[in-house]
Amino acid sequence: MGLEWQGNVAELPELRGKVRVFPQRADAGRVLGGMLASLRGTPSIVLAIPAGGVPVGAALAQELELPFDLAVVSKITLPWNTEAGYGAVAFDGLVLLNRPLLAQLPLGEEEVAEGIAATRHKVERRLADLRGDRPFPDLSDRTAILVDDGLASGFTMQAAVQAVRQAGASRVLVAAPTGHDHAVQSLSELVDELYCANIRFGSRFAVADAYEHWYDVPDAELKAILREKGGHHTNS
């Protein structure tokens, strides 16, 4: 498979617009590993967004022989639709709101504040559950590779990018198996490089459509992956 670059975006043109291109997330991570092969053994770190990004990121990190860790970010969901969101909260407390979308929603300031508080609590709980007291890795003078299992709106990833930049990463890359063209293009303006194997278009986009076997990744699987990575999930 040959990379094709458009500006700072790399894709696999043979996968463009297709569905069911990956058996499951780990396979997608290995495909990304081929796309980012030039980073093998460099002073880079793979940071996966739980939950779906973790199996992808773990496989990518293994392919590239890079350290692996988490970037816990959660979208602020709509009270009437937990699949859709109007913002995101990152591991460092950063809050990013989709102001144009909020202006169109029947949500008052108090409801938005409650949504932010609930999401902040969720992020803190997940950090405690998955990281414990392990400190966040030192990103200074390092390339951070942020990974998720797909980019629908890309808004959650935007929050992750900002948080990782604030944590001192010298370069920020995004790697995702699949993504909507609009999300890919908007994110590309915020990062040094963006790798997306399967770019798709149109009014309807679901990350799940890129996979033959799709499921919500349970916390037990996340913890098993983190245990397996063992010494690879620190900054040492």
pTM: 0.93
Is the per-residue pLDDT at 234 higher than 50? no
- pLDDT in the model for residue 230: 60
Cα–Cα distance measured from residue 51 to residue 66, given in angstroms and rounded to the nearest whole number:
20
- Considering only the C-alpha atoms of the chain, give the largest distance between any 2 of them, rounded to a whole number of Å: 50
For 28-60, the pLDDT digits (tens) are 999 999 999 999 989 999 999 999 999 999 999
Q: How far is CA 177 from the centre of its chain?
A: 10
* DSSP-assigned beta bridge partners for residue 109: none
pLDDT in tens, 80-111: 888 788 999 999 999 999 999 999 999 999 99
Instruction: Walk me through the domains of the chain, giving residue ranges and CATH numbers.
Output: 9-73+141-229 (3.40.50.2020), 75-129 (no CATH)
**N residues, the chain:** 236
> Is pLDDT larger for residue 150 or for residue 2?
150
Matching residue, tokens 């400190």: 135
Pairwise CA distance, residues 60 & 46, whole Å: 8
CA angle, residues 211, 209, 225, in degrees to nearest 5: 40
Give the pLDDT mean for 161-172: 96
- Asked if the model's pLDDT at residue 114 lies above 50, the reply is yes
